[in-house]
Homo-oligomer: A and B are copies of this chain.
Amino acid sequence: MKVTMKDIAKEANVSTATVSHVINGTKQISEEKHRKIKAIINKYNYVPNSTAKNLRKNKTITAGLVVSSFRDSFISQMVYGVEERAREHGYQILLVNTNEDRNYEEEVISSLHARMVDGVILSPTSSDIGYLNKYTKNDFPTVLVNRYDPVAENTPKVTGDDYQTGFDATLHLLDHGHQKIGVIYAVPNVSTTNERIRGYKDALKKYHLPFNEHYLELGYATVDGGEIAVNSLLEREEDITAVFILNDLMTIGAISKLKELMIKIPEDVAIIGFGDFASAGIIAPPVTNIALPADTIGKTAFDALLNKINNSEYMKHIELPPSMILRKSCGC
C-alpha cells in the first residue's frame, strides 16, 4: 500500500497542509512539528505523488523532446545536449522518436500537449508543420530545433547554419579546383537539406558555374544507403570529381563503396562529409568533414524553451555556425 500525505499527517497528528508546508518549505512550521513530520516521512520513505502535484499546479517540470530519427549521431548528440541542460534545471525529458513518420509526429505533439509536458522541443520530420500553430497560438511553449519551417508561428528556432554549411563545403571543393560537385542527401523537403543546397548553389554562382540538378542524389541515411547513392550518382554523372555528403553514415557507406570500386579518394573523387564522427581521423583516407555543434544546439534549444515557458513573447531564430575539420579526403 502506497503511503500518502494524509497518512503522514494522521500519524503526526497534524493536517495535510502542515505536511505539505514542511515538504515544500512554503511556510514556517514549529521546530517540533517539523522534526516529527520529517521523521515520519523518512520512516515511510514517503515521496509526494507527483501526478497529484502536477494536476494541482498545472505543470509537470518535464519537457517533451521529439526527434525524427535516432541512429544519427548528430541527433543523439543533440539529445545529449538537451538532456544535460534539462538536468541542470531540474527538468525531466520525455523523449520520443518519430522515425520520420509525419503522422505519428502530429499524434505525439497532441498527446504531449495534453498537459503531460510544460513545453516541447521538436525536430520535425518534414516542413509540413502547420498543425503546430493550433497549439502555439494558444501559447503552448514549443521550440523547433535543427529543422524548421516558416509556417510555424510563435516558436523560437535553434538550428545550425545550414546555408553556410553548404556554402563553405562547396567553396572548399571549388577552391581545390573541382567544378563538377555532387551532393548526396538523405531527407528531402526539410530546411537542413534545402539550406545546404542553397549554400551549394551560391558557392557555384560565386565561381560562375552552372547548377546541374542531376548532381543531386537522394538516398537513405544508412551505410548501405550511402553505398547505393554514390554508386548511382557516379554511374549517372561520370565527370563528377568531388562529392559533398550530408550524413555521416552515408559518408561511411560512400567511402566503402568507392574503395570497393577502386576509385581513389581524393585523386579520382574528393569527399567532404557532414558531422564529425569519432573515427574520421583514422579512416583511409582520413575524412574531411564540416560539422555543426550538435550538443550546443541541443543545450541552446532547451534554454530557448525555458525562455519561452517563462515569457510567451520570446521569439528568436538562433543559428549556430559550422566548422570544417580538414583532413585528407578533400585533397588538402
Which residues of B sit under 8 angstroms from A50, Cβ to Cβ? Answer: 111, 114-116
A311 interface contact, C-beta 8 A: no
- How many residues of A are in contact with the other chain, CB < 8 A? 53
Q: Taking the complex as formed, is A55 at the interface, i.e. its CB lies under 8 A from any CB of chain B?
A: yes
Which B residues are CB-close (under 8 A) to A284? 282-284
Q: Is A103 part of the binding interface, using a Cβ–Cβ cutoff of 8 Å?
A: no
CB of A162 closer than 8 Å to a CB of B: no
Determine if B49 and A115 form an interchain contact, defined as CB atoms under 8 angstroms apart.
yes
A72 closest partner in B (C-beta) = B76
For the complex, is A319 an interface residue (Cβ under 8 Å from B)? no
Q: How far is the CB of A310 from chain B (nearest CB, A)?
A: 19
A70 CB contact (under 8 Å) in B80, B96, B97, B277: B80
Chain A 93-105, CB-CB to B under 8 Å as 1, else 0, gives: 1111101000010
CB nearest neighbor in B for A251: B279
CA distance A102 to B104 in the complex (A): 35
A267-316 interface with B by 8 A CB criterion: 277-284
Q: CA–CA, A115 to B92, complex, Å? A: 14
The docked-state distance in angstroms from the alpha carbon of A134 to that of B45 is 9
- Copies held by the complex: 2
- Cα distance, A76 to B95, chains bound together (Å): 12
Question: What separation, in Å, do the CA atoms of A255 and B278 have in the docked complex?
Answer: 12
Q: In the complex, are the beta carbons of A80 and B97 less than 8 A apart?
A: yes
Whether B48 contacts A114 by the Cβ 8 Å rule is yes
CB distance from A58 to the nearest CB of B (A): 8
Q: A51-B55, A114-B47 are in contact. Are A94 and B278 (CB under 8 A)?
A: no
CB distance from A304 to the nearest CB of B (A): 20
Interface residue A236 (Cβ < 8 Å from any Cβ of B): no
Let me know if A264 is at the binding interface, CB within 8 A.
Answer: no
CB atoms of A70 and B47 under 8 A apart: no
| Supplied contacts A84-B97, A87-B104, 11 more A-B pairs, CB within 8 Å | A47-B113, A47-B114, A49-B114, A50-B111, A50-B114, A62-B94, A92-B111, A92-B116, A94-B95, A256-B282, A282-B283
